[in-house]
Structure 1
Amino acid sequence: MSDLNHDKKGKAYKKTTINMTSTSYKQDKWYTTSCSHCTFTLPLRYKDLVLIEKKTYTTIVRATDTTTGKYVAIKKLLCPFRTHIYAKRTHLELKLLIYLNHHDAQVLQLCDVFTPERNVNDFQTLYFVLNFVEYDLHQVIQCYESITEERIKLIIYSLLRGLKFIHSAGIILWDLKPTNIGVDRNNNVTILDFGLARVAPIGSDIDYSPTRLWRAPEIYLNKKKCDEKIDIWSVGCIMAELILLKPLFSGKVTINQLNRIFDIIGTPDSKTLQEICIPEASAYISRMRPKPKTNFNELFGFKYDPLTETSISGVSPEGVGLLDQLLSFDPRQRPTVEQALSHPFLEFYHDPNDEPTIEPLIDEHEDAVCSKEQWKATIWRMIEGFIPPSWINNDTTDNS
C-alpha cells in the first residue's frame, strides 16, 4: 500500500504470461557465492548480497536485482525437505505466498521462486525472492523515545488492513510480532512472515508455538479455542509496545508469562475460565491469588509535559478503548479484524472500499499424508508453474 497520507491505489491487478521460474534460466546464467558463511546459487540478475537475518532454517539477504535496479530480499530455506513435516510446512508457506500475492494489501510480495537444481530427483534447495523492506517494527520502536498517537494509529490501521486481507483468506498468521512486520521510511507496513501461518481452523495438533511475548493466552490454556483471534491479541500486544516502547508481557516461561498477563488484564472470573480453559488449566488458575485489572488509562493514556502541558506519549481514550478490546482474555470478546478497523480510534484511515479481501483459500493438501518425496514433487510443480505478477516491476520505491 502506498503511504496512507496520500491517495490510495486501486485493487485491480493482472499477471504476466512470462514464466520466470528456475526452468526459464539457462544453466550458464547462474553463479555461486557466499554470504555470512551461507552458500547461495542464484541467477546472475541478483548481485551484491548483504545479510539481513540468519536463523536455524533460513537465511535472508538483501540483493540488487540488476534487471530492475531495485533491492529485493532473497530467502533461502536451508532444510526444506529434512522430513515430511518440514516438506509440508514448506509447501504451505509457498502456497500462502502465491495465493496472497497482492500489490496493495500490506502483505509480503513474492517476486520469484526458484531452485538451481535441474530435476526433481536432485531437488534440495529453495529460494524465495521477496520485496525488500528497509526496517522491521522492532527496529523502529528501538529508535524512538516516544511514538506519536498519529503514527501509532497509522501503524495499527495498516497492520489490521493487512490482517483483514489474510483473515479473509481463512489464514491465521499465528506468530505476529514486531520483527515480522516491515516498515519503510514512508511508514508503509508489510506483514513479512508466513512461516508458521495456518489455514483455519487450527485445531489442537500444533507441534510448534509462536513467540511467547505476543502469544495469546488460549494457546497455553486450550489450543482447541485457537482461531483468528490469536492474531488480534498479538495486535494488542504490538499496540501496547508502541506506546510503552517495550514488550507488555515479558515472561520467561509459561507460568511467568500468564502471571504477567494477569498483572495487566486481571484474573478472569471462574465462569470464563471454565468456558475457555481445559479443566486442568482452569483449576490451576483458580488456585492462584486473584489479581485486579490495571488501570489502562493510567498505563496507556496520554502523558503530558509538566511545563508545556502537551502530550508526550500515550494515546487518547479512544485508543485505550481499542487496546482494552484487543487484549481481552476471552477470545470471544476480542473484536474481529473488521470490528477493530471500524473502531473510532481508526476512523480517519478506515475505508472498507480500500481494504482488499480475497476468497477463502482451499488447501487440497491440508489433511494430506504424503512422503517427503511426494511433497518435493508437488513443490517442484508449483515452482514450474509460478508466474510473477506484472505489478512486481512497477514498484517505484527509492532504494537510495
Structure 2
Amino acid sequence: MAKEESPVYESLDMIGTGAYGMVYKARNRKNNTFVALKKVRVPLSDDGIPMNTLREIALLKQLDTYEHPNIVRLLDICHGQRQEKELVMYLVFEHVDQDLASFIQKSTILTNDKIRNISREILSGVDFLHSHRIVHRDLKPQNILVTENCHIKLADFGLAKTYDFEMRLTSVVVTLWYRSPEVLLGQSYATPVDIWSIGCIMAELFMLKPLFCGTTEGDQLSKIFQILGKPREDEWPESNVPIKYNSFEIKNKLEIRNLIPNLCENSYDLIMKMLAFNPYKRISATEALNHDYFSEEPLDI
C-alpha cells in the first residue's frame, strides 16, 4: 500500500476505514508527534467544493474551538491531490492509541467505577454535541477512543450533521447493533438515536459483549424485543414502515437483569430509560448526566 504523504505529515499505517474515508496513523514531521490522518475524497461540482462539505468542515473547526475534553481534537486540515472531478482532503486529528472496542476486548472485568466514569464521559461528549444541535449518528465502540489514562474522546464526525426532525438515516449510517428502533423502521430521527446507542454501549461495558446482535433490520428488532419486550401496537409508527407490527412473534423472552446480573438498581434504571422504544420518551443526555447513577456512592473499594 502506498504511503499517504504530505509536506508536513508522513503516513505510517492505516488504522481504520469509516463510511466516508480511510484513517491513517501519521507522524508530524515538524514536531515528531503522532496524529490520526483522515483521508476524505470530496466530489467537485462546477463551482468547486460543494457547500455541504464546506459547512461540515466549518462545523468541525467550530467544535474544536471549545476544546471539549471528550471530543477528539481537530489539529489541521490539508488539501491533497486535485483531479478533474475530485479533491482529496486530509483531516488531522489528535492520535489516541485504542478505541473502546479493543479496550472492551482486552478486559476480563470492568469495575463499577470504571463503567460509571466511561459512561459519564461518553454522555458528556454527546451532551456537548446535542447542545450544538449536532447528532453524531454513528456512535459505537469503534468510534469512541480511550486514552492511556482511561479518558474518553468521541471521534469520527464524518456523519455528524446539524439536525432537523425530518432527516432519515441512509443504510450506511450507524452500525446495525447500535441502531435505534426508529432508524431500523426508516422513520425520521433526532438526538435520541445517540442515546439509544449509548444505552447499548453501556450495557456492553457490563457484559463485555454487545447486547443486541442482529443480522438484518428485522432480526435486530427481534433481538431488541426479545430482551426489552414488544412495544404496544399503538406505539408502532403509522406510516411508511417497511416492517409490519404483526411480523414479530417473540418467544423465550430474556430478562436484561439475567443477562447482566452485575447491574445495580440505578444502572438498570438508566439503561432502560436510554432504551425506550419511543424516542420521545427516551432520556436526554443532560437528564442522564443528572441521573442518580452518577451521584451514588462508588461501589468499588
Q: Could you tell me the TM-score, scaled by structure 2's length?
A: 0.87
After superposing the two structures, state which structure 1 stretch, 54-63 or 282-291, moved more: 282-291
2:272 counterpart letter in structure 1: D
Check the 8 A contact 1:232/1:336 in 2, yes or no: yes
Q: In 1, Cα distance between the equivalents of 2:149 and 2:269?
A: 27
Match of 2:100 in 1: 137
1:163 CA displacement? 0.6
Between Structure 1 and Structure 2, how many residues are aligned?
293
1:207 CA displacement? 3.5
1:212 CA displacement? 0.7
Match of 1:251 in 2: 214
Instruction: Determine whether 1:147 maps to 2:110.
Output: yes
Match of 2:177 in 1: 213
Match of 1:73 in 2: 36
Match of 2:261 in 1: 301
Q: In 2, Cα distance between the equivalents of 1:167 and 1:47?
A: 34
SS for the counterpart of 2:244 is: helix
- Among 311, 328, 347, the residue aligned to 2:295: 347
2:293 counterpart letter in structure 1: F
- 1:271-323 CA distance string (max 9 Å, x none): 222xxx13464982135325686433332232xxxxxxxxxxxx321111111
Q: 1:48–1:170: structure 2 CA closer, same or farther, 3 Å change rule?
A: closer
1:72 CA displacement? 1.0
Check the 8 A contact 1:137/1:183 in 2, yes or no: yes
- Among 332, 336, 356, the residue aligned to 2:284: 336
1:42 CA displacement? 0.7
- 1:149-195 CA distance string (max 9 Å, x none): 11111111000000111001000011100000000121111101111
2:99 counterpart letter in structure 1: D
- Among 46, 58, 61, the residue aligned to 2:21: 58
Q: Which runs of 5+ in 1 are unaligned?
A: 1-36, 303-314, 350-400
Check the 8 A contact 1:266/1:291 in 2, yes or no: no
1:20-169 equivalent positions in 2, closer than 5 A: 37-43=1-7, 45-47=8-10, 49-54=12-17, 57-77=20-40, 79-81=41-43, 87=50, 90-101=53-64, 102-116=66-80, 124-169=87-132
Q: 1:165–1:263: structure 2 CA closer, same or farther, 3 Å change rule?
A: same
What RMSD in Å do the two structures reach over aligned CA positions? 2.7
1:201 CA displacement? 1.1
After superposing the two structures, state which structure 1 stretch, 170-179 or 122-131, moved more: 122-131
1:367-382 equivalent positions in 2, closer than 5 A: none
Q: In 1, Cα distance between the equivalents of 2:251 and 2:22?
A: 43
Q: In 2, Cα distance between the equivalents of 1:263 and 1:123?
A: 46
Instruction: Determine whether 1:285 maps to 2:248.
Output: no
Q: Which has the higher contact order (CA 8 A, sep 6+)?
A: 1
After superposing the two structures, state which structure 1 stretch, 57-66 or 188-197, moved more: 57-66
Check the 8 A contact 1:296/1:324 in 2, yes or no: no
Instruction: Determine whether 1:321 maps to 2:235.
Output: no
Q: Which runs of 5+ in 2 are unaligned?
A: none
Q: Could you tell me the TM-score, scaled by structure 1's length?
A: 0.67
Q: In 1, Cα distance between the equivalents of 2:59 and 2:27?
A: 25
